[in-house]
Structure formats: C-alpha cells, structure tokens
Amino acid sequence: MDPVRTFHDLLYGLAVAASPENLMVAVVGLLLGTAIGVLPGLGGTNGVALLLPLTFHLKPTAAIILLASVYWGAIFGGAITSILFRIPGEPWSVATMFDGYPLAKQGKPGVALTAAFTSSFIGAFVAIVLFTFFAPPLAELALKFGPPENFAVLLLAFATIAGLESGDPVKAVLMTFLGLLLATVGFDIVSGSPRMTFGSVALQSGVNFVIIAIGVFGLGEILLTVEEALRIEGLRARLSFRDVWETWKMFPRYVWTIIRSTLLGFWIGVLPGTGATPASFMSYGIARQFSPRGSRFGTGEVEGVVAPETAAHAAGVGALLPMVTLGIPGSPTAAVMLAGFFIWGLNPGPLLFQENREFVWGLIGSMYLANVIGVLIVLTLVPAFAAIVRIPFAILAPLITILCSIGAYAVNNQVLDLWIMLGSGLAGYLFKKLGYPLAPLVVALVLGDMTEQAFRQSLIMGQGSPAIFFTRPIAAFFLAAAIAVFLLPFARNVVRRARGGAVPAEAPGAAGS
Amino acid sequence: MGRVHRGSLPLVLVCLLGLLGSGVWAAPAWQPNRPVEWTVPAGTGGGADQQARLMAPLIEKYRLSPQPFIPVNRPAGAGAQAFLWMIDKTGDPHTILITLDSLFATPAAQVIRKRDGSRFSWRDLTPIARLLLDHFVLWVHADSPWRTLDDFVRAAKAGPPGRLKMAGTGSKQEDEIIMVLLEQAWGAKFTYVPFPGGGAVAAALVGKQVDFTVNNPIEAVGHWEAGRVRPLGIFASERVRVGKWAEIPTMKELGYPIEYQMLRGIFGPPQMPAEAVAFYQEVFRRVLDTAEMAEFIERGAYTKAYLTGREFVQWLERKDAQVRSLMDKAGWLAR
Amino acid sequence: MRQAALGFAGLLVVAGIVFMREAARLPTGWTASGPGPGFFPFWLATGFTLAGLAVLVRTWSSNHGQGEPFLPGGAWKRILVVFLPMVGVVAFLHYLGIYLGGLLYLLGYTRLVGRHPWPLVLAVSVGVPLALFLVFERWFLMPMPKGLVLESLLYGR
C-alpha cells in the first residue's frame, strides 16, 4: 500500500470524523460506553447491539462512529470496577485486577486508574497507527492462522502465565485443573453434544468465565472484608489530579513493556479465534517474566496494570481489522457491528475500502479522535471514580452485589448463572482463606475451552495425526516458543541450584491443554 | 412510555381489515402492552441474530407495533435453552422465537426434557409464520483447480477417503447434514471440521484451512465479490433469480438432485392466544415488504417465503421428516 | 483451622470423583480423529482428584494451623448476614425479580448492618433499583427478571 496515499486518506478521515456532528456523536458514545464498561457482565457487545436500532436515524458514518465510540468507552470503563472493587467489568480486565486492586487497597486508586487509562490509550493509539498503514497485509497474514496455529499460540499463552502464583505449587496445579475442567462444561461444538452438564440444559451454555470471576473475586472479596470487619467506613483515598501527573512520570520506565504489550496485543487481536482476553493474560505473564520487579507482581505493581491494559486495548483495535478488511468479525462485538453494516446498506468485505471511502476512513479517523477524547474524559473523571471507594461499605457492598447479579444474568439470560455466581463467591472466599490461588483458576477457565477446541479441530484436520502441528511452519514456530517459555523457570532453577542458591517454590502451572 | 399509542389506530384498522378479508372473525385485535421479548436461539452475530437485529429496528421504524421487539440471545445447547424458555412461557403473548434448522436437528440429536419429563419437539410451540428460506451454496477457494462441480466430484472420488476437508458450523447440524448428503450421492468421504460460526467457516476457506464449505450466501458474498471464493452449485430447487446469484447452477441441473433450505421462521410459546398470533403474522408480513428487507433479501439470496396457518404446519411436518430421515441415515438420532 | 483445611480438601476430592463419573459417561478414548469429547474432562478430573488427595495428605501430615480458629470471633454472624440475604434474593427471584429483591436487600443491609439514618437508607434503596430499572428496561431494553409482583404492578394481569 502506498503510504502517501494512505496519509491523504487518513487526513480525509480525520476531517470526516472531526465534523461537529460526528464529534458530538463520539462524545455521547464514549460516555455511554464507559458506563456500559463499568457494569460487570454488560460489555461492548451489549452496548453495540442495543444501540444498533438508534443508528437507523443516523448516516452510516455517524452510526459507525457512535458504535465504535461505545466500544472504546467500554474498553476504558472495564478497568474501573476491576481496580476499585476487584470485579472485572470486562473479561480482559481480569488481569488488570491482579495489581490494580492491591494498589487501590493501598489507598492509591487514582494511580491505578491513571495507569490503566493511560496505557489503554497508548496501546490503542499505536495499534490504530498500525491498523491505518498495514491493515490489508496483516489481514492476509491472519488468514494463515488456522486451528493448529491458534492452538500453538494459546499454548504459548499458557506457558507465559504458568507459575503466576508463588504459593503452594500443588494447590496451583489443583486450581489449574479445576479451571480447565470447568471450561469443558457445556455444549461441545466439536461433537455436537452436551457434556459435563449433569443433565442440566442451562449448564449447556457452559460455566462462564466472567460469572466465575465476578464470584470468586468480587463476592469473595466482599465476604473477606466482612469477616475482617474492616472498612465499614469506606477507604481513605487521596484524590487529586496530582495522581495523574505522578503516574505519568513513571511511564518512561515501562517503555519496553508498553512496546511489547502493544505489538503482542494487536497481533493476538487480529487473529480470529483468540481475542483480547488471552492477550491481556499473556502480556501480564510476559511482563512478569521480564520485569526486574517481576517477583512483586500481584502486590500492587504499576507495571502489572500497564502490561495487560496496553495489550487488551491494542487487541481491541486488532479485532476490528478482519471485520473491516475481510468482513470477518474478530470478536462478538465486531459481529454485531457487522450486522449494522447491513442495516446501513453497506457491503462488508474486501471491497469496502474501495467502495465506501468516506465510511472506512471516517471510521479510522474516528478511532484516533475517539481515543484522544476518551482518554481525556476518563482522566478528568479519575478523582470522581476514585471517590467511589469512600462510600461507606454498608452501602457499597449490597450495591456491588446487585450490580454483579445483573451482570451475571445478562451473560446468558438465565437464572442458573446467579446461583453459579453465588456458589463461586462462597468458594472464592474459602479458597482464599485456605491458601488456594485464584489466578490459575480463571486463566485456565478462559483459555481452556479455546485451547481444547483448537486442538481437536487440528487433529480432525490432520485426520488424527499430531504431525499437523509440526509440518505447518507457523504452528511449529509457536509451539517451539511455547515449550521454550515453559521450560524457562525450570532452567532458571537449575542454574540457580548449580550456583548453590536457594530454589524458590515455582508452580509448574498449566500443564497441557 | 410517551410513544406507546402513537400510530396504533392505523394498525388496528389494518388488522381488522386483514381479519375481515380472510373471512375470519376474531375478538378485537390484540396488541402488545409491554416490550416483546424475541428469543434468538443462537449467539450474537450469527445468521438468526443478524436477522432479528435487522428486523427489530425496522418494526420500530415503520411503527408496526406499539411496543418494541427486543432480541435476547439464548444460545446454550444449540437451541435447547431457548426452546425450554419458550415452554416456560406457555400462553404468554409477549414472547416469540426466531428459528433456524436447529429447531428440528437439536431435538433429534439430543433428548431435551421439559419440566414434566416429556420430550420437547417443535410441535409444542405455536407456529406463527415462515419468513425466509436460506440457501446453501457449495464454495471452493478461487485458487483451487475446480472450475465446475464435475471437477470437484472427480477430485472427491479420486483421493483417499477424508482427504478433502469441509468446514461447517457446529456439529450434527445443517452443514454436516448436507455433507453427508453429498457423501451419499458421490460415494465419497470427507473430513468435517466444526467451527463456531458461519463467519469463521468462511474465513477458514478463504485462508485455505479447508477445501470447501456450504456457507449460506450472506456469509460468503463478500469473499465472492472480492474474488476469493468460487460457487460451484446451489442446493435449491431452482436458480435464485436475483443479481449475480442467477449464474449459480442448482445441484439438480448438474445431475445431483440434492435440495436443502433452511427455515427462518417465527414461533410463539405453547398456547399463544390466536389474536396474538394474528398480530405477529401481520407485523412480519409487513416487515418483509420494507425496502431494507428487500435489499437484505437480495444481497443474501434469500427466498421470500411468507407462509402461515395450515400450509405452514404441513411444510414444517415435511421439513421435520426430511431432517430426521437424513439424521437417521447418518446415525445421529438420539433415542 | 486444620480441620477446616482437611474438610475442604476432602470436599474437593469428592467433587473430583463426581466429575470423573460424569465425564466417564462420554467417550473418553482417543479416536481415529483425535480425543473423544470425554477425554479431556476425564483426565482433567482425574488430575484434579489426585491433586486434591495430595493437598489432603500434606495438610494431614503438617500441624499448620493446629488449634487456631477458622474464623475470628463473631465473623460467622457477619458473613451469614451478608450471604444469606443474597441467597434469598436469588431464591425468590421468580416472585420479586431483581429490582424489588434488590430494594429489600439494600434496605435491610444499609439499615440493619450499616445503621445509616432512614432518609439515606430510603434514598439509596429506592433510588438505586429505580435507576437500574430505567437504565435496563427503558433505556437499554435489556429485559431482566422483573418477578411476578412487579410485572403485575406494571402490566396488570
């Protein structure tokens, strides 16, 4: 693609997006999206689906700008509840919780929020630049990723986050097994039949990762707080814009983490069949391996917020790429947007770039503007968001519980999920009390399903022979990388032992798929 | 709440006229007095979901109903969750369902038990209307050496069994049923690779992960326009006579009388009041006549097939018998 | 503490065996085209059970937490006061729905546990469900379980 021509198109797109009418649409969309992202279980997919009817009265360009802004807003908003209450607003903000919530608990919610918003912005912004200049060739490359490649990438994701917990390794293994096991519950698309459902039709929708995360982290935390009888008067948090500035001063330190996470997230997002959630976990895991302060991850490291947020939002941009260039939705949200294309009388697919220049470049232009406006909006609101933790616990706790219930119900529109949420809340509390780590559970749960599906699809394609993983170069490359990363902690231990140092307890973590 | 009664008078008149015209007397026309919950037995982004999300705003735009229609996804168990939800809503006039062929295939492939222990079948539901028929097209990659169906059939018969791979949506559903039909017609054996949705299936073909698909037209049209995939034949009774779709020969013309069309219809819960059924029939009849739907129908090569009443039920019986016998031959029937 | 840890690990082992039995109802073998649908569930359940046994043995052989109470004094009551009403709201969802159930839950908790003054209690417990109702039912058109009581209040019947 000719870069000069692209640059021209981009200026044109920015001009389209910056018309007063479209700007207003973007601001409205961003505010709405942030609100949707804050509510657990209610994600960008819902927001986009719900707003679709409204877009009838708008021009296609304004309509896609509205939907895209909702999408960006939801991405920003997802981090807020993760950090403040340990409740993931969106699936990909679970990894943000690991360090974001401890920061908030230490009285620094402003720092955590600023770090999250700023790195979202950077990740998304760089990804949009990549999108602008390299969209068509990247989409072509993504098509080369079939089930065997997806399997290898997912295995790599497992390898990078193995040993996420430094506690009892046996318990970490147990929780990994539990997560993988729960991931198998539901309707198995490969065999076309239900499994592990104990005869329940409602369980055929599977044990949803968001519901479990809401339960074990969110409700579990409420129960722990109640037990300790702490914080009945709310948290004392420092609230000022100084947090923003002071957090920003830390950012140059994380430049490599940011670059790595952006590239990783963007690429994982472009791949159909993976998405932002594995990207966020992988990025967190890799940052933990590389960072000099890696051993302090999980106790409130700013870098532990930066890595997953950057990757998740770069992935959010990446997921739109196959939709625009190929008409293939990279995420459920993109799939709903695709339905919108029909409503507006557009033909999604490879010809869209040529046939609807205003639309495509307006969309790309709006991604730039919406991100800039979005980060300004959420940053000005940091003190307000942080102030939420000052609300007395006796009001906050029931409020959170109700929001969690609505969110859990919204996932599949069934009441059983509320029971699952309550059950996992109680289980989460007991796990935490008795020293069972929770991170391996949710990581295994979110990746297990996709990994097994890709594995079985690959074997079907290879007619039962695992050779398919080694004869396809891309798959073989990622598989080798996964094995290398997997062995890294063991290799380090061996080296340390040879030097006579103490061997830290390292969890073998997620073995196999 | 402000909009509730606006535009309802013309609608009442239309309904009354419709009833008079058909010579049926009924109680004064029924209208919803709360939002209509429209269950989609599949996830967001799929074909049924796309159609519901396209029609729902059209119903609002053309003021066909005093209350909005709200699509709600209940994807669990290839439709099983949605079907049982409808059973729980027995008699409720504010609940409807959009269907695809999982309405026949899922209750055949797995035993879905209602609360009283008896087995679910589509006969439990109240048929409202058949709206569209969705076609299936045999697609291969544009770079493949197969220019005609004959080329393809020769390749299918030649290689070792299972060498050619087909991607399809789900397992033991319409895509795999069609593949089994082809296997039986040609004495060939294919490898079936299940994917979670039509978009992913099309991508697998474009990315050369598999050799062919039987994607619905709407799922593959973009790739066709871009010259990445090639249609070899359509599983319809006659050619679809809109736009470029007319160039695709039917399988029957090519010597293989295989037909398969997917139902896109509307159902109500058991014992839905007759006045409510009449109301929805009227709404959907008029939705199908809107300009937006006309465009959608052309782009997706759908057949507009509005049908209600006894004829619809007879059609459903035939369709059910067809699906069951195909699944029986493939050995997928659950007892 | 030690008893609780032992009991919980035992519970996990039992759960693991239940999972194994459920998985064993499916084809757990390795077929010509890869693992059957029950292969992973069965072996994962087996691994889970073995890990549970390992935890059980290790807890048994250590004296960690001997004699410590599992919960600090009075914590029992505080936890049940939070948790049981949650269970109640879900159990009566069919009748009360999420909005009325939420109202009662907020009312009870803010007043009985938080001991906040009545004006605040009422403002929160009526205001929040009302706002949620407007957001989900009116604005986003996302039907939540409203419950028979609210439905009959809203629509008659």
**In the block, which residue shows the tokens 């249609």?**
B231
Q: Which two tokens stand for residue A247?
A: 């957090």
Give the A:B interface size as CB pairs under 8 Å. 162
Q: Which two tokens stand for residue B206?
A: 């474009």
pLDDT at A504 over 60: no
One-letter amino acid of B73: N
* pLDDT of A164: 60
Mean predicted lDDT score pLDDT of chain A: 81
Q: Which two tokens stand for residue B133?
A: 């028929």
Give the B:C interface size as CB pairs under 8 Å. 13
Q: Which of A102-116, B258-272, C140-154 shows the lowest per-residue confidence on average (mean pLDDT)?
A: C140-154
Contact between residue A378 and residue A309 where contact means Cβ atoms under 8 Å apart: no
Bridge pairing between strands C34-35 and B95-99: unpaired
pLDDT at B305 over 50: yes
Per-residue DSSP letter, A56: G
Contact between residue A171 and residue A437 where contact means Cβ atoms under 8 Å apart: yes
Q: Measured between CB atoms, does C112 come within 8 Å of chain A?
A: no
- The minimum CA-CA distance between B70 and chain C, rounded to whole Å, is 7
pLDDT at B5 over 60: no
Q: CA C155, CA C157: separation in Å to the nearest integer?
A: 6
* pLDDT of B153: 93
Q: Given an 8 Å threshold on Cβ–Cβ distance, is A406 in contact with C98?
A: yes
Q: CA B113, CA A200: separation in Å to the nearest integer?
A: 10
State which fold the B137-247 domain adopts.
Answer: D-Maltodextrin-Binding Protein; domain 2 (3.40.190)
- Residue ranges making up the domain that contains A426: 3-498
Which site among C14, C44, C49, C121 would you substitute to test the A interface, given the most A Cβ atoms closer than 10 Å to its Cβ? C44
* Secondary structure of chain B in HEC code, one letter for each residue: CCCCCCCHHHHHHHHHHHHHHCCCCCCCCCCCCCCEEEEECCCCCCHHHHHHHHHHHHHHHCCCCCCCEEEEECCHHHHHHHHHHHHHCCCCCCEEEEECCHHHHHHHHCCCECCCCCECCHHHCEEEEEEEEECCEEEEECCCCCCCHHHHHHHHHHCCCCCCEEEEECCCCHHHHHHHHHHHHHCCCCEEEEECCHHHHHHHHHCCCCCEECCCHHHHHHHHHCCCEEEEEECCCCCCCCHHHHHCCECCCCCCCCCCCEEEEEEECCCCCHHHHHHHHHHHHHHHCCHHHHHHHHHCCCEEEEECHHHHHHHHHHHHHHHHHHHHHHCCCCC
**Domain membership flag for residue A161:** yes
Q: CA B96, CA B38: separation in Å to the nearest integer?
A: 5
Q: Given an 8 Å threshold on Cβ–Cβ distance, is C40 in contact with A223?
A: no
- Strands of A151-233 (E only): list them: 186-188, 193-195
- Subunits that touch chain B (at least 3 Cβ pairs < 8 angstroms)? A, C
Mean pLDDT of A112-134: 90
Which site among C26, C94, C134, C141 would you substitute to test the B interface, given the most B Cβ atoms closer than 10 Å to its Cβ? C141
**Exposure letters A225-263 (e unless 16+ CB within 10 A, then b):** bbbeeebeebbebebeeebbeebeeebeebeebbebbbb
Distance of CA A306 to the CA centre of its chain: 13
Residues in chain A with CB shorter than 8 Å from the CB of C23 are: 184, 195-196
Q: Given an 8 Å threshold on Cβ–Cβ distance, is B203 in contact with A272?
A: yes
- The minimum CA-CA distance between B258 and chain A, rounded to whole Å, is 24
Q: Which two tokens stand for residue C119?
A: 């004006």
Q: Which band of pLDDT confidence, cut at 50, 70 and 90, is reported for residue B249?
A: very high
Q: CA A302, CA A305: separation in Å to the nearest integer?
A: 5
Q: Which band of pLDDT confidence, cut at 50, 70 and 90, is reported for residue A65?
A: confident
Q: Which two tokens stand for residue B188?
A: 């060939």
pLDDT at A1 over 70: no
Question: What's the distance, Cα to Cα, between the start and end of chain B in Å?
Answer: 49
Residue limits of CATH 3.40.190.150 in chain B: 8-133+262-330
Q: Which band of pLDDT confidence, cut at 50, 70 and 90, is reported for residue A179?
A: very high
Mean pLDDT of A363-382: 86
Q: CA A33, CA A72: separation in Å to the nearest integer?
A: 7
Beta bridge partners of B113: B119
* pLDDT of B12: 45
Q: CA A66, CA A270: separation in Å to the nearest integer?
A: 22
Which among C37, C55, C110 is the nearest to A398, CB-wise?
C110
List per-residue pLDDT tens for chain C, 157 residues long: 788 888 899 999 999 999 999 998 888 888 777 788 888 899 999 999 999 999 999 888 887 767 677 777 777 888 888 888 889 989 988 888 889 999 999 998 888 888 888 999 999 999 999 988 888 887 777 778 888 888 888 776 5
Q: CA A193, CA A210: separation in Å to the nearest integer?
A: 23
Which among B33, B35, B191 is the nearest to C141, CB-wise?
B35
Task: Name the residue of chain B whose CA is nearest to C139's CA.
Answer: B1
Q: Given an 8 Å threshold on Cβ–Cβ distance, is A406 in contact with C144?
A: yes
Q: CA B238, CA B249: separation in Å to the nearest integer?
A: 8
- The minimum CA-CA distance between A71 and chain B, rounded to whole Å, is 15
Which among A195, A422, A460 is the nearest to C33, CB-wise?
A460
User: 10 Å Cβ neighbour count for A57?
Assistant: 10
B188-217 residues touching A, CB cutoff 8 A: 191-197, 199-200, 202-204, 206-210
Q: Measured between CB atoms, does B76 come within 8 Å of chain A?
A: yes
The 10s digit of each residue's pLDDT in A259-302 is: 999 999 998 888 866 678 888 988 998 888 888 887 888 888 99
- Subunits that touch chain C (at least 3 Cβ pairs < 8 angstroms)? A, B
Task: Report phi then psi at B138, rounded to 5.
Answer: -85, 115
Mean pLDDT of A437-442: 87
Which among C26, C124, C145 is the nearest to A409, CB-wise?
C145
Q: Given an 8 Å threshold on Cβ–Cβ distance, is C41 in contact with A195?
A: yes
Q: Measured between CB atoms, does C84 come within 8 Å of chain A?
A: no
Q: CA A285, CA A306: separation in Å to the nearest integer?
A: 12
Q: Given an 8 Å threshold on Cβ–Cβ distance, is C143 in contact with B191?
A: no
Distance of CA A247 to the CA centre of its chain: 22
Residues in chain C with CB shorter than 8 Å from the CB of B35 are: 137, 141, 143
Three-state secondary structure call for residue C31: strand
* Structure-model confidence comparison of residues B113 and B55, the more confident one: B55
**Structural domains in chain A (count):** 1
- The minimum CA-CA distance between C136 and chain B, rounded to whole Å, is 12
Q: Given an 8 Å threshold on Cβ–Cβ distance, is B70 in contact with C143?
A: yes
Packing angle of the helix pair A473-498, A147-161 (nearest 10 deg): 20
Residue limits of CATH 3.40.190.10 in chain B: 137-247
Residues in chain B with CB shorter than 8 Å from the CB of A463 are: 162, 191
Specify the CATH superfamily of domain B8-133+262-330: Bordetella uptake gene, domain 1 (3.40.190.150)
Residue C156 burial (10 A CB sphere; 0-12, 13-18, 19+): exposed
Q: Which of B112-116, B313-317, C114-118 shows the lowest per-residue confidence on average (mean pLDDT)?
A: B112-116
Per DSSP, the residues of A204-224 read GG---HHHHHIIIIIIHHHHH
- The minimum CA-CA distance between C74 and chain A, rounded to whole Å, is 8
* pLDDT of B75: 76
* pLDDT of A4: 78
Sign of CA dihedral B103, B107, B113, B116: positive
Task: Name the residue of chain C whose CA is nearest to A32's CA.
Answer: C140
- pTM reported for the whole predicted model: 0.83
* Structure-model confidence comparison of residues A246 and B270, the more confident one: B270
* pLDDT of A508: 39
ipTM of the prediction:
0.92
Mean predicted lDDT score pLDDT of chain B: 85
